[in-house]
Amino acid sequence: MLKIHNSLTREKQNFIPIEPGKVRMYVCGMTVYDYCHLGHARVMVVFDMVYRWLKASGLDVTYVRNITDIDDKIIKRAAENGESIHALTQRFIAFMHEDERALGVLPPDHEPRATQYVPQMLDMIARLEANGLAYRASDGDVNYSVRKFPEYGRLSGKSPEDLRAGERVEVDANKHDPLDFVLWKHAKDSEAEEVKWDSPWGKGRPGWHIECSAMGSEILGKHFDIHGGGADLQFPHHENEIAQSEGAHRCRFVNYWMHNGFVRVDSEKMSKSLGNFFTIREVLKKYDAEVVRFFILRAHYRSPLNYSDAHLDDAKGALTRLYTALKSLPLPSGEGWGGGGAVDWSEPHAQRFKAAMDDDFNTPEAVAVLFDLANEANRTRSPQLLAQLKVLGATVGLLQREPQDFLQGRITGKPSVTLGELTVHATGTIRHTPESIDYLIRERATAKKSKNFAEADRIRKELLETGIVLEDSAAGTTWRRA
RNA sequence: GGCGGGGUAGCAAAAUGGUUAUGCAGCGGAUUGCAAAUCCGUAGACGCCGGUUCGAUUCCGACCCCCGCCUCCA
């Protein structure tokens, strides 16, 4: 039985879908005006893992992750760049997709963009107005009247009294109450036509929170199973979503709320405002994308995750152990590595793996099982256990490449991002190609045959200095990147 | 100030009222021309102080420290 930690109740609960066998899940995605950073990578990877595990559990999942393609920051950035918001957002959506594919993130079933759902948002605002929860302020904005929604604060565990609005931010005089938030922003003369939509309240554009309420209910229905996002969205974004959705539809909005922890740098939250972020593509120039994915899944999704090169190096070493074990798995006849059989769920490791994953997606524990599996497979030389390792890895989007591709630093498929090509390490003095490495391996074999170990060792050392490790075995010599 | 999360061996990171987490690094051994990889063995831990208990890292209380949300943020 799958258990999920529900932010709404702050405890693990048995997961019971609204409709048996089906799961409807919504995750807050990115605002597209810049490159994605590692914090975004964590949301993508974490919920991709959730998506994959729900599917592996036999559930029919509908996964929606939205794209915010209209908001203040986008307008500002487009103006700075002297381009349309459409051009700006299209570009960064494409970059985001590249980053995701590199990280092994499956495309969600739906990826709605806010600008495509303005009519649904207007409809929702009208309902809120009809229900007496929205009002038109003197400046022309339409606001949500938080005090009229008694449940407000339930998700974040805050009471309106405790919020002390205005303590950190100036209170907007147009609001009836400082906690009220905007549903519809009136158009300003200075703004481009591109960001103005007609509405019963005059020209304008949607507030941020309404898009998720509108897109969620439009695609998944008024009541669905799981809603996720970064922990910083719990308040006010998700709190406001609940107020809007339940206020408009007069029914329960979401059963299980999930929030992932932050990526940190030097024990501080990685964020745009602090400026301490690393973009995904920046990191992918230095580290294999699967190492980054493994790094994320090696921690529990709700725990903080400290980013540093040392930690990535560590993750790389660990993943190398798994792929090294997999190296001796014979290729299934006629099939490439992309394929893979079904998991044998009766096997003990698989049972432990499942128990871990079912316990609020405990990927650190599940990964530990993978290592136990690798150890036993190495010891017993069992192809069955290696096959099991590979298919279990698949359930969380790991270990699907040909081992030599990983070990020798190649990328499977053709991500359009330029990633670790075979240029060896920066510390190296000579850069080798696979051909030159093979040549040197043959030279060394000749030297070894004539017992010229000094020359053999010299060649091995020369390669090692450029980051290439040679491994001799009965079957011959293979190489991998250090 | 309000609310919430956390402090585990050199580093990372889980579980658990009594029994090996796991990975990297370390140490000893097997293997190897020597290595690497692999295997076997080994050392090392639960912030501090009390309490409950036959027994606490695990439960309870106080304290110290760190982090997050309360503003846009994944």
Residues A390-403: tens digit of each pLDDT: 999 999 999 999 99
The encoded tokens of residue A174 equal 């147009």
The encoded tokens of residue A60 equal 């029919």
Distance A131 CA to B72 C1' (A): 29
Which nucleotide has the shortest C1'-to-CA distance from A72?
Answer: B72
Helices (H) and strands (E) in chain A, counts: 16, 15
Work out the pLDDT band at A341, boundaries 50, 70, 90. Answer: confident
Q: What percent of chain A lies above the pLDDT cut of 70?
A: 92
Q: d(Cα A195, Cα A416) in Å, to the nearest integer?
A: 31
Q: What percent of chain A lies above the pLDDT cut of 90?
A: 81
Of the candidates A473, A481, A470, which has an alpha carbon nearest to the alpha carbon of residue A425?
A481
Distance A253 CA to B62 C1' (A): 41
The encoded tokens of residue A263 equal 């990526």
Work out the pLDDT band at A423, boundaries 50, 70, 90. Answer: very low
Q: Does domain A3-260 have CATH number 3.10.580.10?
A: no
Which nucleotide has the shortest C1'-to-CA distance from A453?
Answer: B33
Distance A367 CA to B46 C1' (A): 22
Distance A381 CA to B19 C1' (A): 29
Q: Which of A28-37, A58-67, A87-96, A424-433 has the lowest mean pLDDT?
A: A424-433
Which nucleotide has the shortest C1'-to-CA distance from A454?
Answer: B34
**C-beta neighbour count of A319 within 10 angstroms:** 23
ω into residue A236 within 30 of 0, thus cis? yes
Distance A44 CA to B25 C1' (A): 31
Determine the pLDDT at residue A376: 96
Count Cα neighbours of A325 within 13 Å in the Cβ-side half-sphere: 28
Q: d(Cα A235, Cα A474) in Å, to the nearest integer?
A: 60
Distance A464 CA to B13 C1' (A): 31
Question: A4: which strand partners?
Answer: A13
Residue nearest to nucleotide B36 (CA to C1'): A471
Non-local CB neighbours of A453 within 8 Å, separated by 6+ positions: A447
Which nucleotide has the shortest C1'-to-CA distance from A165?
Answer: B70
Contact by Cβ (8 Å): A127, A200: no
Work out the pLDDT band at A425, boundaries 50, 70, 90. Answer: very low
Distance A121 CA to B74 C1' (A): 23
pLDDT digits (tens, 9 = 90+) for A262-287: 999 988 999 988 889 999 999 998 89
Q: What nucleotides of chain B have any atom within 7 angstroms of a protein Cβ? A: 1-5, 11-15, 21-25, 32-40, 66-74
Say which residue the tokens 């069992």 belong to.
A382
Which nucleotide has the shortest C1'-to-CA distance from A295?
Answer: B12
Work out the pLDDT band at A428, boundaries 50, 70, 90. Answer: very low
Determine the pLDDT at residue A420: 35
Distance A352 CA to B19 C1' (A): 18
CA-based torsion, A80, A82, A83, A84: positive or negative: positive
CA-to-CA dists, residue A366 to A45, A50, A351, angstroms: 16, 13, 10
Distance A341 CA to B19 C1' (A): 36
Determine the pLDDT at residue A427: 32
Task: State the pairing for strand pair A305-306/A263-265.
Answer: parallel
Distance A477 CA to B74 C1' (A): 45
Distance A449 CA to B29 C1' (A): 29
Determine the pLDDT at residue A421: 35
Which nucleotide has the shortest C1'-to-CA distance from A457?
Answer: B34
Distance A362 CA to B52 C1' (A): 31
pTM given for the model = 0.94
End-to-end CA distance of chain A: 41
CA-based torsion, A211, A212, A213, A215: positive or negative: positive
Which nucleotide has the shortest C1'-to-CA distance from A42?
Answer: B74
Residue nearest to nucleotide B13 (CA to C1'): A299
Which nucleotide has the shortest C1'-to-CA distance from A235?
Answer: B69
DSSP tag of A339: -
Which nucleotide has the shortest C1'-to-CA distance from A34?
Answer: B73
Which contacts qualify for A442-445: CB closer than 8 Å, 24 or more apart? Answer: A444/A470, A444/A477, A445/A476, A445/A477
Query: CA-based angle A303:A309:A313, to the nearest 5?
Result: 90
Q: For residue A412, is pLDDT > 60?
A: no
Q: State which amino acid sits at residue A322.
A: L
The rounded mean pLDDT for chain A is 91
pLDDT digits (tens, 9 = 90+) for A226-255: 999 999 999 999 999 999 999 999 999 999
Distance A392 CA to B32 C1' (A): 33
H/E run at residue A22: strand A22-27
Q: d(Cα A102, Cα A108) in Å, to the nearest integer?
A: 15
Non-local CB neighbours of A439 within 8 Å, separated by 6+ positions: none
Interface confidence (ipTM) of the complex:
0.96
Which nucleotide has the shortest C1'-to-CA distance from A316?
Answer: B24
Instruction: Cite the beta strand spans of A36-173 per DSSP E.
Output: 60-65, 134-136, 142-144
Q: Does domain A265-424 have CATH number 1.20.120.640?
A: yes
**What are the sequence ranges of the domains in chain A?**
3-260, 265-424, 432-481
Q: For residue A334, is pLDDT > 60?
A: no
